[in-house]
Structure 1
Amino acid sequence: MNIALLANPTAGKGRRAGLLPEVVARLEAGGHAVDVVTATSRDGMIEQGRAAVAGGRAVVAMGGDGTVHLGLQAVAGTGAAFGIVPAGTGNDFAVRLGLPDDTLQAADTIARSTTTRAVDLAKVTGGDGTTAWFGAVMAAGFDAFVNERANRMRWPRGPQRYNLAIVAELLALRSRRYTMSLDNERRVFDSVLVAIGNTESYGGGFRIVPGADPTDGLLDVVVAEPLNRRTLMRLRPKVFKGTHVLDPRVSTYRARTVELAAEGVTGYADGERICPLPVTITCVPGALRLIA
């Protein structure tokens, strides 16, 4: 293969950036031509990925879920081969696809591979005209508000900023009124947490939509009814095991297409800001050709 390697040296706090030359060497040892692509902006990375696809090259993303997300914008629905070399903190999409979570092992797997397999992706169309793809989970409730607040904060840096954003959003916690259509079946409800998943987890292992299968042609939806701060925080640790869905205050659904609307809510997918609601999310079977 001719490979465009989309590399993010800041992924995983830069701890695996030094592995880039070895990743390149291992891919080349498999007989592949490798062109390392870096960019200073999100749009720049997507544009270079799309240029690689237009040139008939495979795309490999080396980084975390954010880097993978950018790669998906370039390859989704094109039939181009796509590989993942996990180098982030959580690597949720790669882990849930059953790929190696070790950076060099993943590179070796791609180097040896001679086939691809089909994986579903979710396509988002926003009321503001936004279109985007995601592989893991879209958050449109409490976790989305935390992300939105953390992105606005300039201090402190690092994980502490996210922790402070959680505290601030807990203090501001209130339910929102949502309108949701699941394959045209309409529901109106109040909620503090809504998540739509193509795969199970986000945030480094939070199995928010347990059982989500990226090969079944469906999206999994989790909705929590209005909860107070204490109940929400008691429920949160259960998400690591996926047992929160056993709570009677949590509902689960499956659908091919999900339409979701609410005032003042912005959707985040694969940890990246997508757009304000309303959105239409559709599962597109086999939209990704995964090198595995």
Structure 2
Amino acid sequence: MTGPAGGPSAVAPGSVAVLANPAAGRGRHSAVLPLVRDLLAATGRPVRLLTAVTAEQAASACRAAVAGGAAAVVTVGGDGTVHLALQALAGTDVPLGPVPTGTGNDFASDTGFPADPARAAAEIAAALRAGRSRPVDLARVSAPGRPDRWFGAVLAAGFDAVVNERANRMRWPSGPRRYDLAILVELARLRPRRYRMVRDGERDDFDAVLVAVGNCASYGGGMRICPAADPTDGLLDVVVAGPVSRRTLIRIKPQVRRGGHVDHPMVRSLRARQLTIDAPDLVCYADGERLGPLPVTVTAVPGALRLLR
């Protein structure tokens, strides 16, 4: 078997652990889990469903499964469920199979898995049956006084992170309308922040309203914020939107869906193996999950994860 940074590799003998989020996608894919279990069981491997109520329990269950000798982990959920599994799988030879059933499935999509959960599950089962896995990059986030975290898709450290922070504090309304209202509130409060970024040893101080760091291209359910990002090139893509006005940001935002925003003269696209980002009074989110306040150091780690593909 090759190490995590190698090429195609065999999957070790053993059981498959399944981490499912029944609330992912607001429960509209509730029938997928039995299908996933049947397809995995048909490979001849024991299948074990990891039981967890909270995110902390889910992360702990994944770590215990890996430590206990699981040959692979399959997630049934969205980017948040994948994010929990990454914390246990990064840097190991235990591969991941993401079955996309969440509201946002950016990591699964950007690493080549079908958007249809049944098709994705069938492809994962086929890879498992063939004993096949392939490497993909991850990003490691380090911050003073906090344990390292891993992410697979995009880290947001600007307007989008502020919107997430606002939406998570709101008790009303429910569902997507909460996020829409949070955008309106934060647009009214929009102001550039002074950033300090050290990118591969070179310092850069600038004013901006948005900084995104991509291992993959997309976040937020298909918004291609870092459209040139490639999770197999060993690099991070960094997109910076400068001190744009509220009106300009409103014009740019719809273009993110197809990646056209990077053509705007106030948007910069950069690449790095490692960067440190700092700005006053800002937190960052990655894979849609809160990582905490800046500063953070983000490092590209080639081949840190294996996928059942």
Q: Same fold (TM over 0.5)?
A: yes
The aligned counterpart of 2:254 is 237
Residue 99 of structure 1 aligns to which amino acid in structure 2? Answer: F
Residue 65 of structure 1 aligns to which amino acid in structure 2? Answer: D
* Equivalent of 1:269 in 273, 277, 286: 286
The aligned counterpart of 2:11 is none
Residue 76 of structure 1 aligns to which amino acid in structure 2? Answer: A
Superposed, 1:114-153 pairs within 5 Å as: 114-153=131-170
* Equivalent of 1:37 in 43, 50, 56: 50
Residue 83 of structure 1 aligns to which amino acid in structure 2? Answer: G
Q: Following the alignment from structure 1 to structure 2, what is the Cα–Cα distance between the partners of residues 279 and 15?
A: 36
Question: Greater CA deviation, 32-41 or 268-277?
Answer: 32-41
- After superposition, the C-alpha distances for 1:22-46 in whole angstroms (9 at most, x for unaligned) are 2111111122211111311111100
Q: Following the alignment from structure 1 to structure 2, what is the Cα–Cα distance between the partners of residues 175 and 17?
A: 42
How many residues were matched structurally? 292
Question: Greater CA deviation, 215-224 or 19-28?
Answer: 19-28
Superposed displacement of residue 246, structure 1: 0.8
Superposed displacement of residue 89, structure 1: 1.6
8 Å CA contact 1:127–1:277 kept in 2: the answer is no
* Equivalent of 1:246 in 240, 244, 263: 263
Superposed displacement of residue 112, structure 1: 1.2
Q: Which secondary structure does the structure 2 equivalent of 1:17 belong to?
A: coil
Gaps of 5+ in 1: none
Superposed displacement of residue 115, structure 1: 0.7
- After superposition, the C-alpha distances for 1:125-154 in whole angstroms (9 at most, x for unaligned) are 012323100000000000000000001111
* Equivalent of 1:78 in 80, 87, 92: 92
The aligned counterpart of 1:14 is 27
Q: Following the alignment from structure 2 to structure 1, what is the Cα–Cα distance between the partners of residues 115 and 47?
A: 21
RMSD: 0.9
The percentage of counterpart residues that share the same residue type is 58
Gaps of 5+ in 2: 1-13
Residue 104 of structure 1 aligns to which amino acid in structure 2? Answer: A
Superposed displacement of residue 274, structure 1: 0.5
Taking structure 2 as the reference length, the TM-score comes to 0.93
Q: Following the alignment from structure 1 to structure 2, what is the Cα–Cα distance between the partners of residues 130 and 33?
A: 33
Taking structure 1 as the reference length, the TM-score comes to 0.98
